[in-house]
């Protein structure tokens, strides 16, 4: 009987260690989503990168750069808080310098760019390194033979920290008027909490970050514990959300690691890959597909 009790204690101890290793695992993972649209002629692949906060991903950011290169995206969308207001810019600049040489990159600000009070310097660096800031702009571009209308929103903290800007509501209204609905329309923004504005705006796809996955998760039961703006038990901490007008929102759980005071639990940092195609082309893409209903 004593031997059996020792075995039970050993098993319980081993299980607790394994659970802790899983809970605090902050290795990078890649999450895939598949979107279909009649506006798409040939399959295209988008990498959504948010909330890097200048965190480190291997020597020379090799882990993150290699993960992006493995997916071979047609375009990279940078959804804010890629820079941080406390951690030096070195890791961010190393990563962005590498990917900007390989892929078209588009950027919108997050709150931390403004909190740094160096946002002008940051945006100037992006411009000098071939990364286009699309905050408060709508552009039309071709991606792998598809016509794309891409709109961006500056973070709402722009006005508070710079005294400039038209504000998110005005920017969104302008984007609705300037976009071309004959093309596949995308809205790149930082904060998912303004979902009531986004879902009525009529974009085919809305992309966001900011929530850090709710920081603590219980996969399959609790999608997030706490997120900025949304508070406790956030609905839009990360995942895929479908709206009644057939548009969709994908929220990245982001890449922040050492920049956060509270550790991530069951919430690995993620690189988001979005495969967009016609329905008959969806099977071309491999990898797990994650979906969340609104």
Question: Would you tell me how many other CB atoms lie within 10 Å of the CB of residue 294?
Answer: 14
Structural tokens at position 271: 């690189």
In a domain, 201, yes or no: yes
CB–CB of 53/259 below 8 Å?
yes
In a domain, 7, yes or no: no
Nearest by Cα to 110 from 194, 258, 207, 210: 210
Question: H or E stretch including 231?
Answer: strand 231-232
In a domain, 289, yes or no: no
CB–CB of 269/253 below 8 Å?
yes
| Structural domain for 188, as ranges | 27-284
Per-residue model confidence (pLDDT) at position 285: 44
pLDDT band at 19 (very low <50, low <70, confident <90, very high): low
Classify 59 in phi/psi space as left (phi over 0), alpha (psi -120 to 50) or beta: beta
If you write DSSP's letter for every residue of 45-88 in order, what string do you get?
A: EEEEE---TT---SGGGHHHHHHHHHH--SEEEE-S-SS-SSS-
Q: Which of 153-157, 177-181, 210-214, 217-221 has the lowest mean pLDDT?
A: 217-221
- β-pairing verdict for 270-277 and 44-49: antiparallel
Question: Would you tell me how many other CB atoms lie within 10 Å of the CB of residue 247?
Answer: 19
pLDDT at 130 over 80: yes
Per-residue model confidence (pLDDT) at position 25: 82
Specify the higher pLDDT residue, 279 or 2.
Answer: 279
Give the count of alpha carbons within 13 A of 120, CB side only. Answer: 5
How do residues 131-186 score in pLDDT, each as one tens digit?
999 999 999 999 999 999 999 999 999 999 999 989 999 999 999 999 999 999 99
In a domain, 9, yes or no: no
Beta pairing partners, 106: 77, 132
In a domain, 267, yes or no: yes
In a domain, 40, yes or no: yes
pLDDT at 220 over 90: no
In a domain, 294, yes or no: no
The CA–CA distances, whole Å, from 99 to 4, 71, 232, 277 equal: 56, 12, 35, 24
State the Cα–Cα distance between residues 6 and 213, nearest whole angstrom: 39
CATH classification of the domain holding 31: 3.60.21.10
156 phi/psi in degrees, rounded to 5: -60, -20
pLDDT at 38 over 60: yes
In a domain, 116, yes or no: yes
Mean pLDDT, the chain, as a whole number?
89
Structure pTM?
0.90
Number of domains, the chain = 1
Question: Would you tell me how many other CB atoms lie within 10 Å of the CB of residue 27?
Answer: 9
How do residues 270-288 score in pLDDT, each as one tens digit?
999 999 998 765 444 444 4
Beta pairing partners, 216: 265
């Amino acid at each position: 009987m004593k031997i059996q009790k020792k075995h039970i204690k050993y098993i319980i101890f081993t299980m607790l260690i394994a659970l802790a290793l899983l809970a605090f695992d902050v290795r990078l993972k890649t999450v895939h989503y598949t979107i279909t649209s009649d506006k798409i002629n040939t399959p295209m692949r988008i990498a959504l990168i948010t909330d890097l906060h200048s965190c480190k991903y291997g020597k020379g950011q090799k882990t993150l750069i290699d993960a992006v290169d493995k997916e071979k995206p047609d375009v990279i969308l940078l959804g804010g808080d890629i820079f941080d207001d406390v951690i030096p810019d070195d890791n961010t600049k190393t990563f962005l310098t590498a990917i900007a040489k390989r892929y078209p990159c588009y950027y919108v600000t997050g709150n931390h760019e403004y909190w740094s009070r160096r946002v002008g310097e940051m945006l100037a660096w992006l411009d000098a390194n071939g990364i286009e800031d699309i905050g408060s702009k709508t552009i039309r571009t071709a991606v792998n033979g598809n016509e794309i209308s891409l709109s961006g929103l500056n973070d709402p903290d722009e006005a508070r920290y710079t005294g400039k800007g038209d504000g998110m509501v005005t920017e969104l209204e302008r984007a609705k008027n300037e976009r071309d609905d004959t093309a596949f329309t995308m809205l790149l923004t930082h904060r998912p909490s303004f979902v009531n504005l986004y879902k009525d705006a009529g974009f085919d796809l809305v992309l966001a970050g900011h929530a850090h996955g709710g920081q603590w998760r219980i996969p399959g039961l609790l999608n997030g514990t706490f997120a900025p703006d949304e508070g406790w038990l956030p609905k839009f901490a990360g995942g895929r959300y479908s709206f009644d007008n057939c548009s969709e929102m994908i929220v990245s759980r982001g890449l922040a690691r050492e920049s956060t005071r509270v550790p991530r639990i069951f919430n690995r940092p993620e690189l988001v890959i979005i495969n967009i195609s016609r329905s008959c082309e969806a099977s071309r893409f491999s990898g797990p597909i994650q979906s969340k209903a609104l």
